[in-house]
Amino acid sequence: MKRILDEAFLQDTVSSMIDMKEIHSAVIRVESGDGSLALTAAAGDMINDDRYFIASVTKLYVTAVVLILKREGQLSLDSRITSYFPGGMLSGLHVLDGVDYTDEITVKHLISNTSGIPDYFFGKTASGKKAATELLEGKDEAWPLERILDTVRKIKPRFKPGHTGKALYSDTNYELLGAIIEKITGSPIDMVFKELIFDRLGLNDTYCFKDESDETPAQLYYKTSTVRLPKYMASVTAEGGIVSTAQECMRFLRAFFSGEFFPAEEIKDLKQWNMIFGPGLFLYGIGIEKFYIPFFMKPLFPIGETLGFWGQTSAFAWYNTENDIYLTGTANQLGGRGHRLAGNAIMKIIKAKAGQI
């Protein structure tokens, strides 16, 4: 007897993610494009409407802002990023084999992760240290743009900007995009998000984390340890500083793919895929990710095209085009287990929607 995607199925799926060792809380929201299905389930320490850090899912909101500004004629993807930063602020940011390629980098290179600029978060400096290591061990520090750029200058780039077939996931790219958006609009990035997205969609529980005393977002874990990083989260708004709920993240996700920010047909222009290895494995386009299923696993998971974004906190926002189903949620885990369990749950839900279970 096949199981159908209903409230009981979703609750069972979310509850099975909780082990109280590494995964203490989870929430998933599911909606169908035609409006016939709208379900939310939470387990562990979370309830349906709890707020959580969406982490790098924030980058999908950046994509929406960039495309809005592009449509308004305020920004071109072909603009060189050095034109937005005076006084050689970016000099020496991308030096490969003795050649400084910084002036060749465009907005498109940033948003497609094809700039070659190292990732300050996971990039290893000459000392062998990674920002991620100390942060995940609980050393909470602010990372303003100037500190990020100084760190990146000490890390060797992987490839020249726009090198065919090359991509590197880099939070640095999105910190630069955030700074460019601020220069274009004349407003802080948190206020840009509020004006162009949060207020437009009527989101009351979605905001950029700025108050270091704010303890309302669900508790994060790294493996079996709790992690609280208020200074860091308040300083990296453009790359991952949004707090939301599964339902309000869903409201944004549907708006993104349905044409509320830019014509829906422009989605096809974002599908310029490059494979990205680590952290994780996925396809990256123009400000959007594609859920990756290895070819040898496709017979077991024939879920079709699934577009959206992962977050480092195991947060996610995905749209499965084949079955016209949207999924948002989180497992509040910075370690790999959270992503694995969330990924398994996503595939299970899509298969149920398609009548494959």
pLDDT digits (tens, 9 = 90+) for 232-242: 999 999 999 99
The DSSP H or E segment spanning 244 is strand 242-244
* Statement: residue 306 has pLDDT above 80: yes
Q: Enter the tokens of residue 179.
A: 């700074």
Convert 40-69 to b/e letters by CB count within 10 Å (16 or more is b). bbbbbebeeebbbbbbbbbbbbbbbbbbbb
**Residues 183-211: what's their mean pLDDT?**
98
Q: How far apart are CA 16 and CA 147, in angstroms?
A: 41
Number of Cβ within a 10 Å radius of residue 13: 22
* Statement: residue 279 has pLDDT above 60: no
Please tell me the predicted confidence (pLDDT) of residue 129. Answer: 78
* Statement: residue 155 has pLDDT above 90: yes
Please tell me the predicted confidence (pLDDT) of residue 48. Answer: 98
Residue matched to tokens 């071109």:
76
Contact in structure between 350 and 28 (CB atoms under 8 Å): no
Q: 96: helix, coil or strand?
A: strand
**Residues 63-80: what's their mean pLDDT?**
98
Contact in structure between 330 and 243 (CB atoms under 8 Å): no
Please tell me the predicted confidence (pLDDT) of residue 280. Answer: 62
What is the per-residue DSSP string for 314-326?
S-EEEEETTTTEE
* Statement: residue 128 has pLDDT above 80: no
**Residues 161-182: what's their mean pLDDT?**
97
Domains of the chain as residue ranges with CATH: 7-61+188-353 (3.40.710.10), 74-185 (1.20.58)
Q: Is the link from the previous residue into 279 a cis peptide, with omega within 30 of 0?
A: yes
Mean pLDDT, rounded, of the chain: 95
What is the per-residue DSSP string for 289-338?
EE----GGGTTT-----EEEEE-TTS-EEEEETTTTEEEEEE--BSSHHH
* Statement: residue 108 has pLDDT above 60: yes
The residues that bridge with 330 in the sheet, in sequence order, are 27
Counting residues of the chain whose pLDDT is more than 70, the rounded percentage is 98
Q: Give the model's confidence band at 137: pLDDT under 50 very low, under 70 low, under 90 confident, else very high.
A: confident
What is the distance between the terminal CA atoms of the chain, rounded to a whole angstrom? 9
Q: Give the model's confidence band at 125: pLDDT under 50 very low, under 70 low, under 90 confident, else very high.
A: low
Contact partners, residue 304, CB within 8 Å, separation at least 6: 320, 321, 322, 323
What is the per-residue DSSP string for 116-184?
-PPPTTT---TTS--HHHHHHTT------HHHHHHHHTTS--SS-TT-TT-----HHHHHHHHHHHHHH
Please tell me the predicted confidence (pLDDT) of residue 1. Answer: 57
* Statement: residue 248 has pLDDT above 90: yes
Size of the chain, expressed as the number of residues it contains: 357
Angle, alpha carbons 287-290-293 (nearest 5°): 160
Residue 93: phi and psi, rounded to 5, are -75, -35
